[in-house]
């Protein structure tokens, strides 16, 4: 990995500029990873940009949806509502639900539990996992207390509840971990929020062949840092990025958050070199 480049932060460039890329076939780096906001992870290489759970979608992007949570689908729904036709890789049930919001691109591909697909030369594998909720439903007392004493949080709470109801049966779809094999670049594994106390020994054994990638991205569900610290070394690859994925959503509804830096420090102390991948950060690999 080249020296980490300065994080994209306030005063550097408008957030929208992160999405102003088009297809490039003479790319300056082997790979660039950008984390604009929320769970949005953007991969730029010599082919079409690939973006996990996008907040915004640019022309030419290949969209990969890790699961059915409202915050993971919101950007794609907005793009469809705006008349765009993104190419999307996602569970078949999610694609069926999205088609109720607009027309998906011709290269859209549905995923099953054992499927392997190829888009723009990139081979994509995925595997479902059992998730804890990034933003657990609030009980009525806590929800009423937040609305009464922190009214600025009210819209976020109400929107989260409305979006959860609107998804209907899609809400039961399991999220997925992903492996991308990018020609001329290498393997990237996105573990999302899979490493929790709910991960059984059988699931860990089944996921073993996702280990050892060139890049490993791992989020941490709230209260699950011990599970991540215990399991992540088994997936370790050349570059390990501890990725902030859920704090924006939790703040929006007034829930506590955990930074990923203490987890990175714990991994370092245990002998696993890792890097923090916070929102509005970017890494280039040459």
Query: What is the residue-wise DSSP string for 20-42?
Result: -----SS-SSSEEEEE-STT-EE
Percent above pLDDT 90 for the chain: 70
Please say if the pLDDT value at position 138 is more than 90.
Answer: no
Q: Which two tokens stand for residue 276?
A: 């923090």
Are 167 and 98 in contact by the 8 Å Cβ rule? The answer is no
Phi, psi (degrees; rounded to nearest 5) at 150: -135, 70
Residue 170 has a CB neighbour count (10 Å cut-off) of 19
Are 181 and 123 in contact by the 8 Å Cβ rule? The answer is yes
CA distances from 132 to 67, 124, 199 (A): 12, 24, 10
> Average of pLDDT values for 63-75?
95
CATH architecture of the domain covering 15-285: 4-Layer Sandwich (3.60)
pLDDT tens readout for residues 239-269: 999 999 999 989 988 899 999 999 999 999 9
Please say if the pLDDT value at position 220 is more than 80.
Answer: yes
Nearest-CA neighbor of 154 among 38, 253, 257, 256? 253
The pTM of the full predicted model, rounded to 2 decimals, is 0.83
pLDDT tens readout for residues 2-31: 444 434 333 333 333 333 333 444 678 899
- CA dist 219 and 114 (Å) reads 23
> Average of pLDDT values for 89-100?
95
> Average of pLDDT values for 101-120?
92
What b/e readout covers 62-84, taking b as 16+ CB neighbours within 10 angstroms?
A: bbbbbbbbbbbbbbbbbbbeeeb
């Amino acid at each position: 990995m080249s020296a980490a480049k300065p994080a994209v932060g306030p005063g550097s460039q408008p957030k929208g500029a992160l999405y102003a890329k088009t297809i490039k076939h003479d790319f300056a780096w082997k790979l660039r990873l950008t984390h604009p906001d929320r769970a949005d992870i953007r991969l730029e290489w010599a082919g079409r940009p690939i973006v996990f759970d996008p907040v915004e979608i640019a022309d030419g992007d290949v969209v990969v949806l890790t699961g059915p949570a409202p915050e993971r689908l919101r950007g794609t729904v907005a793009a469809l509502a705006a008349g765009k036709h993104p190419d999307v890789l996602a569970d078949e049930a999610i694609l069926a639900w999205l088609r109720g919001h607009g027309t998906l691109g011709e290269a859209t591909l549905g995923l099953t539990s054992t499927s392997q697909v190829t888009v723009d030369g990139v081979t994509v594998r995925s595997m479902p996992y059992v998730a804890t909720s990034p933003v657990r439903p609030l009980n009525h007392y806590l929800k009423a207390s937040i609305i009464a004493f922190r009214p600025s949080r009210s819209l976020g709470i109400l929107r989260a509840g409305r979006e959860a109801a609107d998804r209907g049966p899609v809400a039961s779809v399991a999220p997925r971990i992903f492996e991308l094999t990018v020609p001329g670049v290498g393997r990237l594994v996105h573990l999302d929020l899979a490493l929790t106390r709910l991960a059984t020994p059988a699931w860990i054994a089944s996921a073993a062949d996702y280990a050892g990638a060139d890049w490993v991205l791992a989020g941490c569900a709230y209260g699950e840092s011990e599970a991540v610290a215990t399991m992540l070394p088994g997936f370790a690859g050349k570059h390990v990025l501890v990725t902030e994925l859920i704090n924006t959503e939790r703040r929006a509804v007034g829930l506590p958050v955990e930074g990923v830096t203490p987890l990175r420090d714990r991994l370092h102390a245990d002998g696993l070199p890792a890097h923090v991948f916070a929102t509005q950060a970017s890494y280039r690999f040459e």
